[in-house]
Structure 1
Amino acid sequence: MRTVIVGYDGSSTADVALAWALDYARHCDARIRVIRGWTMATAPRPASMTLGYVPPLEEFEDAVRQRLRSDVERVVAERGAGVEVDCDCVRGAVANGLIEASRDADLLVVGARGKGGFRGLALGSVSEQCVRHAACPVVVVRDEHSADVDRIRD
């Protein structure tokens, strides 16, 4: 079965990219693997974390995976009928994780830009790295905010 990797950071652009990937996967009989990158600074806090106790990394990873599942739930419910969807997370730089995952994928789908800091960019750093270094074809999905960048430049 074909595998489509989707980079997902929780942004509205990531929702559009996931919806596109779900439609593609349904037509091509592929499965979706949604990946979110995380660091200790970006991970949601595990329920076991208390003042003076820092849980093991596995609990942070589980918290990230649970949040990811929760974040993609609506889009998958709306567009994912009949498509197998797995959620995974990678600790560290998200571009590196997506590029590594692309080695075992048929297609990598990312949004043009996510939650990163520079709103005026037409292409974010993660999508740029994926386009340059992925081991499979890459689809960069734009949303209405990407179109605004074109209007600003005119």
Structure 2
Amino acid sequence: MQDYMIAAGVPAAQGKEQAMPGIVVGVDGSPNSERALDWAMKQAVAVQAPLTVIAVHEVPKSYWGHIPVVGPADAGLLDSLRQAAEEMTERAASQLGDAAPATVTVRALNGFVVEELVNASHDADLVVVGARGGSGFGRLLGGSVSSEVIQHSICPVVIVPHER
């Protein structure tokens, strides 16, 4: 398992075996997020943990309230994002053969990527992200989402690197 980095962590209590309530993976359709999903899927199988796949349709932020601004056009975009995330998840699951995570849930949300992943970290034992996303802005900053998630996540974060 040298194909990943643990970037932030909360140590488990020594001497206690703990059940893993869940793994969260962020996807955006990029090859790096596919690698992250594949890794998260295999890890969920290995520890028999539920897997939650999160895809976020990034929307503008309100100047006054710093809350997501969602318009009528966002509904169709969110449906397309959900469908793409479900197809991506089905492809990853099909590569596992008979093995399967305890459960797999796909969530598509309007909002802010980092905020949604950090919020999900409150109820997860592990958050998995790719080293860089699919947006041009994400490539420009060289992994700004993963950097932010590392800094603010409540649970350990695994960053799956891009293919070499």
TM-score normalized with structure 1 length: 0.75
> How many residues matched?
132
Equivalent position of 1:8 in the other structure? 27
RMSD after superposition = 2.4
> Given the alignment, which residue of 30, 36, 40 partners 1:21?
40
Does residue 100 of structure 2 align to residue 82 of structure 1? yes
| Whole-angstrom distance in 1 between the partners of 2:44 and 2:111 | 27
Is the Cα–Cα contact under 8 Å of residues 29 and 84 in structure 2 kept in the other structure? Answer: no
Note the C-alpha offset of 1:39: 3.9
Note the C-alpha offset of 1:111: 0.3
| Whole-angstrom distance in 1 between the partners of 2:140 and 2:75 | 36
Letter in 2 for 1:15: E
Is the Cα–Cα contact under 8 Å of residues 2 and 29 in structure 1 kept in the other structure? Answer: no
> Given the alignment, which residue of 51, 64, 78 partners 1:32?
51
> Given the alignment, which residue of 92, 112, 116 partners 1:97?
116
Partner of 1:101, secondary structure, is helix
1:1-154 equivalent positions in 2, closer than 5 A: 2-39=21-58, 60-79=77-96, 81-83=99-101, 84-117=103-136, 119=139, 123-144=142-163, 147=164
Runs of 5+ consecutive residues of structure 2 not aligned to the other structure:
1-19, 61-70
Equivalent position of 2:8 in the other structure? none
Note the C-alpha offset of 1:56: 7.6
| Whole-angstrom distance in 2 between the partners of 1:98 and 1:21 | 14
| Whole-angstrom distance in 2 between the partners of 1:23 and 1:126 | 23
Higher relative contact order (CA 8 A, sep 6+): 2
TM-score normalized with structure 2 length: 0.70
% identical equivalent positions: 39
Letter in 1 for 2:95: E
Letter in 1 for 2:52: R
Letter in 1 for 2:118: I
After the TM superposition, which segments of 4 or more aligned residues of structure 1 sit over 3 Å from their partners? 54-63, 118-121
Note the C-alpha offset of 1:57: 5.6
| Whole-angstrom distance in 2 between the partners of 1:104 and 1:85 | 15
Note the C-alpha offset of 1:23: 1.2
